[in-house]
Structure 1
Amino acid sequence: MPSQTARPRAIFLDIDGTYADHGLAPAAHVNAVRTARKLGHLVFVCTGRPLSMVPTHILDAGFDGTITGAGARVEVNGEILKDARFEPELAARIVEALDAHHAAYILEAPEALYGRIGVDRRLREVLGPVFAGRPQHDGVLSTDVDPLEDILGPMQYGDDLRNTSYAKVSCFDSPVPLTHLMESFGPNVGLIPSSLSALGDRAGEIFMAGTHKAVGIQAVEARLGLDRADIIAIGDSANDIEMLEYAAVGIAVEGGHPAVLAVADRITAPPAGNGVALAFAELGLLG
């Protein structure tokens, strides 16, 4: 039985593997977001992607705001509530360490992605085999979006990135395990596994310690005067753990990261099974 609710809720949706797959959202998810908002609920994107990597066709469904960079940047109704970046000295030190070990990485900022000249070729070599086996159609989603172009499209290239302002690093190929590099960065830097688990410990996301999606949700909560009891979050990856723990109702996607499944109050289907729409219906968000 659906759990009907009359009071407005605030729903925070991860993108990849939750709201969308391979950069595309099923029509049922788009319709669910639009219907929920018409009924007075608030719906936000809450993604690890920087704003520069969030496609316009994702946002076209209509959202009340975006939390991007896994909590580094928060925008509500056109107002930027937060735009956190690494301190310049630390940012330069991270870049120097990655370059010294010939790592293939991308620096993520709201305005663009930044990479060293030639990193596009390296990423094609590393990620090509990972994406090669993906289905072209799964019955619900048309997966004709090239995931490599999804990454490389917003890229800007340079020889020296030490002075770049950025909020997060996605490392796709490091000859040295990233856990070893982390020891030199100090307590203000965190590391989570890459969502591309096939890459192992040579890949991961380097972020500002203490910055995560729940921090972004708290910024929205404070600005809009939300009640934490009315917050719902849906996600599937390691960077969704804190937001599912923080939400009154945390929903994990079937087949998601084990730690996410462990903290979830409910489980829903992946995008191919219209999981976000099913969860909305079960919670009474669609009327």
Structure 2
Amino acid sequence: MSVIFLDIDGTYADHGAVPDAHVEAVRRVRANGHRVLLCTGRPRSAVSPRLTAAGFDGFVCGAGAYAEVDGEVLADVVFPRALADRSIDVLLAHHAQMIVESTDALHVLPEAAVVMDRRAPGEGASGAQAAVWEDLLDARRVVDDLHGVDFAKIVTLSASSDLSAIAAEIGDEVAAVETSIQDLGRGAGELYLAHITKAVGIQVVLDHLGLTAADAVGAGDGPNDLEMLAMVGTAIGIDGGHPGVIAAADIVVPGPAQAGLVEAFARLGLG
């Protein structure tokens, strides 16, 4: 049995929309006795039923902070309270518009909600990333204060400074990476705990299942997939993805617009 970890955006889903061929491919692989999990930078709250329609054995979310198998939550790591509040304070000092990602919801201040509404495609839109924004807005919770919220990651929509500089000001406990949400402004990106990667969440799953990294297959396209692809026994890269992803990949297949995972699973004899 293999256990397969699929990044969502740019790998399993095309701008948040899952091709029917990928749904059927996941079902075939599971019918062949393999485990399949979504492994995403999204928090669990933003993994919508539309994305999970194929049926999955679990989830690694928050880029490794959250792990779930067969409905059992194995890990749900959040920022320590003092670090969380300091991060919010520094981001606000740099006029950041942010989405604070929790397992239960995406928390935003009213001003950030306005920014989201302005950037999101209109109702009924079908263009690039329309489905991504639908998931974000469905999971959104508007609050008056972000202090006291438990979270594993923050997405910044914009800020008055580059996010890498803001992360350095907060301290070594955090790191920053570019976001998968397209067409955002200066200071846009993702802020997360420096010691948390997708590989961390994957290891939690493997330990629970009694498997090793050699039993794992990973598929991804972005910079937050690098640690995953470095640890798994078989790495699937998506054509056009981050150069480090392509370098780490055992095989490279087309993106989700061409249902590339169908080719990947066939080449690996998974289904």
TM-score, scaled relative to structure 1: 0.88
Instruction: Describe the SS at the equivalent of 1:233.
Output: strand
Deviations 1:110-158 (A, max 9, x none): 1000001121221344x35xx69xx947xxxxx7944433222211112
Match of 1:27 among 20, 44, 69: 20
Q: Which residue of 1 aligns with 2:179?
A: 194
Q: Does 1:255 align with 2:248?
A: no
1:102 Cα deviation (Å)? 1.3
Q: SS in structure 1 opposite 2:154?
A: strand
Match of residue 205 from structure 1:
190
SS in 1 for 2:169: coil
Corresponding residue of 2:74: 81
Matched residue, 1:4: none
Change (3 A) 1:147 1:229: closer
CA distance in 2, matches of 1:144, 1:263: 27
1:170 aligned to which of 150, 155, 158: 155
Q: 2:83 aligns with which of 90, 96, 109?
A: 90
Contact map agreement 2:4 2:36 (CA 8 A) in 1: yes
Equivalent residues in 2 for 1:1-287, closer than 5 Å: 8-125=1-118, 127-128=119-120, 136=126, 145-196=130-181, 198-199=183-184, 202-286=187-271
Q: Say whether the 8 Å CA contact 1:240–1:260 is kept in structure 2.
A: yes
Displacement, 1:21?
A: 1.4
What whole-Å deviation, never above 9, does each CA across 1:184-236 have from its counterpart, x for those lacking one? 22211111112246446521110011111111110111111113222110001
Contact 1:74 1:81 survives alignment (8 Å): yes
Root mean square deviation of aligned Cα:
1.9
Partner AA of 1:116 in structure 2: L
Q: How many residues align?
A: 269
Q: What 5-or-longer segments of structure 2 have no aligned partner?
A: none
Structure 2 distance, partners of 1:25, 1:278, is: 16
Distance 1:12 1:147, change over 3 A: closer
